[in-house]
Amino acid sequence: MNVTSSWLARRYLRFSRRQHFLPLLTSVAILSITVGTFALCLILSVMEGFHAELSKRLLGLSAHISITPSDAHHPDETMVKQILSKFADVKDVELVIEGEAIAQNAVFEHDPPTLGLHLKGLDLEKLSATPAFDLLLAEKALPAGVPQMMLGSDAASTLHVHPDFQDALNLIAPLAEIGPAGDLVPRTRDFHVAGVFRTGYYAYDAVLAFVSREDAKRLLGEQASATWQIRLSNPQKAASVAASITSHLPTGWKIISWDEENKKLFSALRLERLVMAVILFITIIIASFSVMGVVSLISASKRRDIAILKSLGMPKGMMYRLFLASGAWIGAMGGGLGAVLGTIACLLLDRWQLPLPPAYYLPTLPVSIEPFAYVLFALMGVSISILASVYPVSQAIGEDPCEVLRYE
């Protein structure tokens, strides 16, 4: 688009007093592109914020890579450390003891609350220092030597316990030890609730509990399994690092990365983002019909000008640029305004966070600021407006100038 085409296009967007309806239609077309671009910027930023926040909370509790030995009851610690020492991306390695247990609040004499828990034995002090989730610790320190546990918020609500009241739960490992007859019998132990965590992910908050590694071994006994949990300097490299480690592991060992473990969840989030983007893109397509109508009316009102310019020998390409520039100006004003408003809205939501109802698990509405995406959305509004102008412009330029000027 040269300077002449741009200047004439701006003049063609200024209408005479007889054309009362064209300014209104132009404003509607600009507003349509603005609303579509604004919605695209805001909604996709919120959805990307949900994805980033959920990933952060999942990574706060999940290992980036998990390795399960073929003999999970007797892991070869020396061999694992030798294998992982070869990889520079490995930041931390921790042995976790896992198993299933039944929790019961024995305070209730009749029909005590009972819940099945997935128990993980690890370093509780290291877990307390993780900033990726909300953690409520007991106000008063528990006596030394007392078995302690950290419980998910939904599980704590189901079992009616709170760390400030120094509540205790009776944990039962149903297949923990071999009895006199050679069959597996349960083992039971009381644990005080030292803290309640909230990740915002129901699968964790409802069934997950943490205890120390030693307490997990004592309670779970024969049903305990060992897993090496690896944390990387860059979690996004988990899949590639896991593939590299696999070639060094013995046959029968299992390795899984965090994104593969939560594959269904993140696939659902990606599909949701894609569907929302398509719906909002269709909104902008619908808005482009207004642009098409405005450019059609501009072209129709300038039939005489088009005929004169063709008679003077103006090339068709230049005439196309002239009238397509009108659509480009509408798209630029609408897309630019929508991107600016979307950016302002996202910045405001990021600064003054909007509280969410408890059903959403996250305390506030997460927003991810993506300046490059906002510029891309604005350019998309301009491109769609130009494409919407092609047909009416080609119809106007295709008319015979002699027929047009005959009655002028």
Q: What is the pLDDT of residues 39-71, one digit of tens each?
A: 888 888 888 888 887 777 777 777 888 888 876
At 101, the pLDDT band (50, 70, 90 cuts) reads very high
Domain that holds residue 124: 64-258
DSSP per position, 215-271: HHHHHHGGG-EEEEEEEESSGGGHHHHHHHHHTTSPTT-EEEEHHHHTHHHHHHHHH
Same domain membership, residue 103 and residue 34: no
Same domain membership, residue 102 and residue 29: no
Q: What is the pLDDT of residues 237-282, one digit of tens each?
A: 888 888 888 888 877 788 888 878 778 877 887 888 888 888 878 8
Same domain membership, residue 296 and residue 393: yes
Same domain membership, residue 380 and residue 306: yes
Same domain membership, residue 73 and residue 13: no
Please list, residue by residue across 45-82, b when 16 or more beta carbons sit within 10 angstroms of its beta carbon and e when fewer do: bbbbbbbebbbbbbbbbbbbbbbbbeeeeebeeeebee
Query: Domain total for the chain?
Result: 2
Same domain membership, residue 78 and residue 50: no
Same domain membership, residue 327 and residue 210: no
Same domain membership, residue 382 and residue 238: no
Q: What is the pLDDT of residues 12-35, one digit of tens each?
A: 555 555 556 667 777 888 888 888
* Domain stops at, among 202, 237, 258: 258
CB 81 within 8 A of CB 93: yes
- pLDDT average, residue stretch 373-391: 84
Rounded to two decimals, the pTM is: 0.69
Same domain membership, residue 193 and residue 48: no
Same domain membership, residue 282 and residue 388: yes
Q: What is the pLDDT of residues 199-221, one digit of tens each?
A: 877 778 889 999 998 999 889 88
Same domain membership, residue 69 and residue 42: no
Instruction: Indicate whether 400 pLDDT > 70.
Output: no
Angle formed by the axes of helices 21-61 and 316-351, to 10°?
50
Same domain membership, residue 341 and residue 203: no
First-to-last C-alpha distance (Å) of the chain: 30
